[in-house]
Chains A and B, each alone.
Chain A
Amino acid sequence: MKSSATGIERIFPHTDATGQKQPEHARISMELRGLGKKFLVGAGEFQALKSIDLDVAVGEFVCVLGASGCGKTTLLRILGGLEKHTEGSLRFYQEKSGQPPTSIVFQEVSIFPWLSVWDNVAFGLRARHASKALIKERVSFYIEKVGLTPFRDHYPHQLSGGMKQRVSIARAFANDPEVLLLDEPFSALDERNKATLQDELLRIWEETGKTIVFVTHSIDEAIYLADRILVFAGPPGHITQIHRPDFVRPRNLTALRATPEYKRLVGAILEGLGISGEPSDAIE
């Protein structure tokens, strides 16, 4: 699999010619040590997350894979600054002062209906008082990247579901955070839109070298996108497995599905998710 020559030039700054990760040489973007989250429920306490240790390298694409209710969204909300962890430590690399640690692309439609596409994408930069020139440059760059330049003055209600999610992606990237967090961003889209947006996301990621943490419940999506897959189970949410799908990019799922490596990986992930039974049956 690794040796299958595609003839495609490796353009990822963080991977070598074979497409393999080299985390030991890379700078760390985000560091979690014994991270946990507890909150009060009625008379008792609920442990939502427990002792999570994780280093994410700059430019790495990490997928957090888990079933609904396992705590993966809680983890993302903590990383995104929407909630506070109650145990352990969480640190982000900061390139320069003022650079935000994270931006989130939410699962549901989250762009503001009262702002045009342009103003939505500019939202994060304006909120941190970036210069007009910088805003103009970044916003037009990312609107172009998601192919919405002809729609820059449109309002969200004039856009399709896929276009709204593109705006959301552009808004998060334009904010230039150290780590981009995506919470099942394509789960509401049809298969075609989903495939297109996955490829667009990979393209922007490759061009910008941004660090991405992508939450999903789809094994195929994780294998298609990730450098590293963290299999999550809970509650309390914790990492049960770590996989590095080292399939050469760009990946072709249809071709991959026929390979023994793919089947082995899916089988192992299903086990990590706590799903028993014959793995090859489960994915058909």
Chain B
Amino acid sequence: MSIQENHSDQIGRMVEIQPSKDIGQAERFRRRRDRFLTVVSPLILLLIWEIVIQLGLLDSRLFPAPSMIVGTFYDLVASGELWRHLSISLIRIAVGFFFGAIAGVTVGTLMGVMPVVGAVLSPIVASVYPIPKIAIFPLIMVLFGLGEMSKFVVVAIAVFFYMVINTVAGVSNVERIYRDVGRSFRVSRLRSVFQITLPAAMPMIIAGLRVSAGVSLLVLVSAEFVGAESGIGFLVWNSWQVFDVRSMFVGIIVIGFLGWASFTLLDAIERVCLPWAPKNRR
């Protein structure tokens, strides 16, 4: 029958789209679950580690379980040893980070705002940036001595390059319309940089600070391995040398904690300073 054929071959049919009973419960559940997992995931990792050691799958002399480290951790805290190393490392990072970030944002802004400066410096930055900073640490020690200054400098140099790159990216991606607004209000060049360019580039600059915080830890710990008598990196390396594996793990865990803390701190700074940034909007 032709009608039958028409029905099956040519005439379409109504396809129903099923409604959902979910008016937002799923999204709410996902958000709660993720917040819970953020707290729990490090604990689960520690638990797995504990089980692996307790089952004897790894040599506990080389990989002590978390429960074995707790005592060592307590001893190091009680003796003031941990705080001595931690505080000196924090000072080195703070000083190096501060000056490296200021210099990096300044140079990055100049490169982004003044094409001449960008043309001169960008090939230099591009070629020096990938050199591991720890590779030039011997030279830094020759120039700045074995004391604190060489640690400040190596951290500052590492932070500097990350901040230059992120600042240039942020500054040169400022939307043209904002510069047009500045010029239409006859804003001076200098004022335009501080009132328009830098605020607009701030999300990228803060993203740079976030990366730099991790990088400064990385570089400092390596520098303390080879050229220091104190600091959290020295604690790790020295403990390994004397085969005090538990103290070494305490050092490693503290470094991990510092990385987490710097992220959390920058998140908070970002929420306060950039309420308008897309990711912070409610």
Bound Cα distance A128, B182 (Å) = 12
Cβ contacts under 8 Å, B178 to chain A: 110, 112
A81 to B184, Cβ gap below 8 A? yes
B276 to A81, Cβ gap below 8 A? no
A80 to B199, Cβ gap below 8 A? no
Cβ contacts under 8 Å, A124 to chain B: 185
A82 to B183, Cβ gap below 8 A? yes
Cβ contacts under 8 Å, A255 to chain B: none
Q: Output the nearest chain B residue to A123 by Cβ-Cβ distance.
A: B185
B186 to A127, Cβ gap below 8 A? yes
A103 to B200, Cβ gap below 8 A? no
Q: Output the nearest chain A residue to B278 by Cβ-Cβ distance.
A: A157
- Name the distance in Å between B184's Cβ and chain A's nearest Cβ: 4
A156 at the interface (CB under 8 A from B): yes
Interface string of A91-130 (1 = CB under 8 A from B): 0000000001011101011101111000000011001100
- Name the distance in Å between A108's Cβ and chain B's nearest Cβ: 6
Cβ contacts under 8 Å, A115 to chain B: 199
Q: Output the nearest chain A residue to B199 by Cβ-Cβ distance.
A: A114
Bound Cα distance A71, B274 (Å) = 38
A114 to B281, Cβ gap below 8 A? no
B117 at the interface (CB under 8 A from A): no
Bound Cα distance A128, B195 (Å) = 13
B186 to A157, Cβ gap below 8 A? no
B183 to A81, Cβ gap below 8 A? yes
Q: Output the nearest chain B residue to A105 by Cβ-Cβ distance.
A: B184
- Name the distance in Å between A151's Cβ and chain B's nearest Cβ: 14
Residues of chain A from 58 to 114 with CB closer than 8 A to chain B in the complex: 80-82, 100, 102-104, 106, 108-110, 112-114
B180 to A82, Cβ gap below 8 A? yes
Residue picked from B178, B188, B274, B278, most chain A C-beta under 10 Å: B178
Chain A binding site: helix, strand, loop or mixed by DSSP?
Answer: loop
Bound Cα distance A127, B180 (Å) = 14
Cβ contacts under 8 Å, B278 to chain A: 157
A29 at the interface (CB under 8 A from B): no
Interface string of B171-212 (1 = CB under 8 A from A): 000000110111111111001000110011010000000000
A205 at the interface (CB under 8 A from B): no
Q: Output the nearest chain A residue to B179 by Cβ-Cβ distance.
A: A82
Number of interface residues of B (CB under 8 A): 22
B275 at the interface (CB under 8 A from A): yes
Contact A81:B186 (CB < 8 A) given known A110-B181, A155-B276: yes
Cβ contacts under 8 Å, A113 to chain B: 276
Residues of chain B from 242 to 282 with CB closer than 8 A to chain A in the complex: 274-276, 278, 281
Cβ contacts under 8 Å, B274 to chain A: 114
Number of interface residues of A (CB under 8 A): 23
Residue picked from A109, A110, A113, most chain B C-beta under 10 Å: A113
Bound Cα distance A175, B187 (Å) = 12
CB < 8 Å: which of A109, A156, A157, A175 contacts B185?
Answer: A175
Q: Output the nearest chain B residue to A77 by Cβ-Cβ distance.
A: B180
Cβ contacts under 8 Å, B184 to chain A: 80-82, 102-104
Residue picked from A115, A123, A127, most chain B C-beta under 10 Å: A127
Bound Cα distance A144, B119 (Å) = 47
- Name the distance in Å between A74's Cβ and chain B's nearest Cβ: 13
Bound Cα distance A123, B191 (Å) = 11
Cβ contacts under 8 Å, A123 to chain B: 181, 185, 195
- Name the distance in Å between A79's Cβ and chain B's nearest Cβ: 10
Contact A110:B177 (CB < 8 A) given known A82-B184, A100-B185: yes
Cβ contacts under 8 Å, A128 to chain B: 185-186
Bound Cα distance A157, B177 (Å) = 17
- Name the distance in Å between A73's Cβ and chain B's nearest Cβ: 11
CB < 8 Å: which of A81, A100, A103, A112 contacts B199?
Answer: A112
Q: List 16 A-B contacts (CB under 8 A).
A: A82-B180, A102-B184, A103-B185, A104-B180, A104-B184, A109-B177, A110-B177, A110-B181, A112-B200, A114-B200, A123-B195, A127-B186, A127-B191, A127-B195, A156-B276, A157-B281
Q: Considering the complex of A and B, which 10 residue pairs feature the smallest CB-CB distances, nearest first?
A: A104-B184, A124-B185, A114-B199, A127-B187, A113-B276, A110-B177, A155-B276, A80-B184, A114-B276, A127-B185
Binding site for A on B (CB under 8 A): 177-178, 180-188, 191, 195-196, 199-200, 202, 274-276, 278, 281
Binding site for B on A (CB under 8 A): 80-82, 100, 102-104, 106, 108-110, 112-115, 123-124, 127-128, 155-157, 175
**A102-B184, A104-B184, A128-B186 known, 10 other contacts, Cβ within 8 Å:** A100-B185, A110-B178, A112-B181, A114-B202, A114-B276, A123-B185, A127-B187, A156-B276, A157-B276, A157-B281
